[in-house]
A and B are shown apart, each in its own frame.
Chain A
C-alpha cells in the first residue's frame, strides 16, 4: 500500500521560474514531513522538513506548504536554478525513538531546470 503519493513524475522549468511538487499522504499518524534532494550517484539529502502544527515553512528559496485537513503538502522552489536539477522525494514518518528513521517516501519527481 503506497501511503505517500507524489506528483508530477517529472517537471521541466526555466531558470528563474517556480517549481512546485505535490504530495498526499494517507496515514494521519504521520507527524514529520521532510523533502529530500537526490543527485545521481548520491544518497538523498534533507532539504527542508515540516511538522503538522504549522502551515508553511520557508528556508531560502525552498518553501513547504502543509494542509493538514487535506492531508497534502507541497514543495515550492523559487527562482529555480540549473543546479537544482535533481530528483526530489517527499517523505513522511512518525517522530520517535523507534519510528523516527522509518520514512515512507513518495515515488520521486525528476526536476530539470533549463538555463
Chain B
C-alpha cells in the first residue's frame, strides 16, 4: 500500500473532449508529480507540483495542466484529447525533496 490513491481507475473519452484525473496523496507529501505510461513503455514525466505550484515540466504541451490542493490532493487536466493520449496516467508523491517516491496504481485512459 503506497498511500497514493487515483481515480477513476479506467476512463473512456472521445477525441476532442476534456478529462480530469484525480490523485490523493499521503499527509505531509508536499510534492506530487504526474507521469504518462504508454503501453509497453516506461513512464514519461509530465510535470511536478511543489507546495501548490508547478515547478517542473516534461515535454508535454500546455493542454496538459494540473492543480495541487492544500489537502494533499491533486488533479491532472487534459484538454482537446488526442488518440495518442491513450495511456496509463500515474501520480506519484513524496515528502520533501529527498523522500521516497510513491506511485499510485494509475488511471487507464482510452481516447476513441
Contact = CB atoms under 8 A, between A and B. Distances in A.
B101 interface: yes
Interface residues of A, number: 26
B50 A108 contact: no
Contacts, number: 71
A109 to B, nearest CB: 10
A95 B90 contact: no
B110 interface: no
A54 interface: no
Contact of A44 (B33, B98, B103): B103
A96 interface: yes
Contact of A45 (B35, B44, B97, B103): B103
5 contacts: A6-B42, A100-B97, A101-B33, A102-B45, A103-B45
